[in-house]
Amino acid sequence: MIDQTFIDHFNYHLDTVIKGSVNNSQYRLDYEIPIKDRNATITKYNANANASDNVTVTIPDTILGRNVTKIATGAFSSSNVYQVIMSNNITTLESWSFNGCANLKKLTVSKNVSCAQSGGYLFTGCNNLTDITVPADMADREFISHFQYCIGGAKLIKPDVDAKVTQVYNNLKSKSANVNWNISGLSGNAKENAKYEVAKYIHSQLASNLIRYDASYSMPQTAYALVSGKGACAGMSRSYILLLLKSGFTKDDVQLISAPGHALVGIKLYNQWYFVECTNSNPESFAMTYQNEWYNGTPEGQYDGYIIPGTYSYYCDADGTRVVSQESEAYLAQCYKSNYNRGDVNMDGVTNSSDLSILNNYLNGGNSSINLVNADVNYDGKIDSNDYNSLNDIVSGKFTFADMIKKVYGRII
């Protein structure tokens, strides 16, 4: 039998890898010990023929005097393991290490496991993982975002994210005195104006100051992106929705939209739905009425996307995977119709004196139904007399809409 004294003979043979297994009556754990890094890796879990349906695996602290620091790619993948207890020496979980463990119900996480050192898709298919124990002194709490597909993970992610949402919301309010944040205290046109101002301002800050875009495959697509400061489309979209809800938007005003290879947000302003691209803060990415970037060949007005429902969908994917259907495509096509031009306040396809009249009525408290995005003629995030004056100049031929945009941004967008 190999023991610690024996493997010490290989200390000067750095390319040597010691392989073996740890056995008990229920299972066998295969391991490797590369001499050059002096730590052990669990490479494979193997259930014995007589193993029960509630197998509990305890990862040992050490093997042959070497710390067990890593669980290898696919080590437990698709196994029937019921419970896993990690030692605190574990720092790294390689990709797919627990993928497809449908029987996994309980997990105790190492306090030293690192999100940065771990791979992706660690717990996909672990739909029954509800009992997750995370140490209070966990060094890298961001790791919990990897439980995005697990019911128990959603409950872990939510408190951390909610606390961060409140912090970010208060910071944004303190830095933007010119934005009307009193959405819940308003009604009618004033409320829609405030919603537009807030949504536009938060979008301007999201990718530029709050979350760095990171599309690496190991990056979980959860709202934990707001906590960690990095994430990709789904994480950034979820964070945007939670900030809107904190600001006074209702769940009827927002939609998380997913499609092959992408995610974005839908927001409702004055009964009109708009797409918001959250991976950048460019003004042209806010409040689009047509978004076609994630698929090829689908005619305008049709979409390969679908709306993700569910309470936890704003935090992670724990409430399940949605499937694109003709019904979901038709619903999106109905919600998000064709583009209209800035200044086309009444959405009749042309910009003229009728738009001026309707905008004037709206600004004076009338109940005119307008397209708020198109009414923000000067792109400043507010609907006010400045937009009326700019629209009047455009309608009268004093200057073109393109001239006005160039004046605002220094370029044509």
CATH code at position 369: 1.10.1330
217, pLDDT greater than 90: no
Find, among 100, 110, 104, 24, the residue nearest to 70 by Cα. Answer: 110
Find, among 174, 169, 118, 183, the residue nearest to 147 by Cα. Answer: 118
CATH code at position 62: 3.80.10.10
Q: Are 26 and 48 in contact (CB under 8 A)?
A: yes
- Is 78 part of a structural domain of the chain? yes
- Is 405 part of a structural domain of the chain? yes
Domain identity same for 189 and 233: yes
Q: Which of 277, 305, 335 is the last residue of a domain?
A: 335
User: What is the domain count for the chain?
Assistant: 3
At residue 132, the 3 state secondary structure works out as: strand
Side-chain-facing half-sphere of 260: CA atoms under 13 Å = 9
- Is 148 part of a structural domain of the chain? no
For the whole model, what pTM was predicted?
0.84
- Is 346 part of a structural domain of the chain? no
- Which tens digit of pLDDT belongs to each residue from 241-254? 999 999 999 999 99
Domain identity same for 135 and 41: yes
Q: Are strands 254-259 and 262-269 parallel, antiparallel or unpaired?
A: antiparallel
Q: How far is CA 7 from CA 1, 12, 28, 137, in A?
A: 11, 10, 21, 34
Identify the residue with better confidence: 200 or 369. Answer: 200
Identify the residue with better confidence: 16 or 160. Answer: 160
Each as own residue / partner, the long-range contacts of residues 318-327 (CB below 8 Å, 24 or more positions apart, any chain) are: 318/147, 318/148, 318/149, 318/150, 318/151, 318/153, 318/154, 319/154, 320/127, 322/258, 324/259, 324/260
Domain identity same for 269 and 371: no
Rounded CA-CA distance 153/148 in Å is: 6
**Domain extent for 165:** 161-335
Q: What is the mean pLDDT of the chain?
A: 86
- The predicted pLDDT at position 133 comes to 95
Q: Which of 139, 170, 191 is the last residue of a domain?
A: 139
Domain identity same for 50 and 193: no
DSSP code, position 288: B
Q: Are 110 and 89 in contact (CB under 8 A)?
A: yes
Return the structure tokens found at 239.
Answer: 């964070």
Identify the residue with better confidence: 360 or 380. Answer: 360
Rounded CA-CA distance 346/23 in Å is: 74
Domain identity same for 170 and 82: no
Q: Is 299 exposed, middle or buried (0-12, 13-18, 19+ CB in 10 A)?
A: exposed
- Which tens digit of pLDDT belongs to each residue from 99-115? 999 999 999 999 999 98
- Which tens digit of pLDDT belongs to each residue from 41-63? 999 999 998 888 899 999 999 99
401, pLDDT greater than 70: no
- Is 146 part of a structural domain of the chain? no
Domain identity same for 48 and 128: yes
Domain identity same for 126 and 231: no
Return the structure tokens found at 150.
Answer: 């697990």
- Is 50 part of a structural domain of the chain? yes
Q: Which of 335, 370, 400 is the last residue of a domain?
A: 335
412, pLDDT greater than 50: no
Q: Is 11 exposed, middle or buried (0-12, 13-18, 19+ CB in 10 A)?
A: exposed
Q: How many residues does the chain have?
A: 413
- Is 152 part of a structural domain of the chain? no
Task: Label residue 323 by pLDDT band (50, 70, 90).
Answer: low
Q: How many CB atoms lie within 10 A of CB 252?
A: 7
- Is 54 part of a structural domain of the chain? yes
Segment among 56-70, 204-218, 227-241, 322-336 with least mean pLDDT: 322-336
Maximum Cα–Cα distance across the chain: 93
Task: Label residue 71 by pLDDT band (50, 70, 90).
Answer: very high
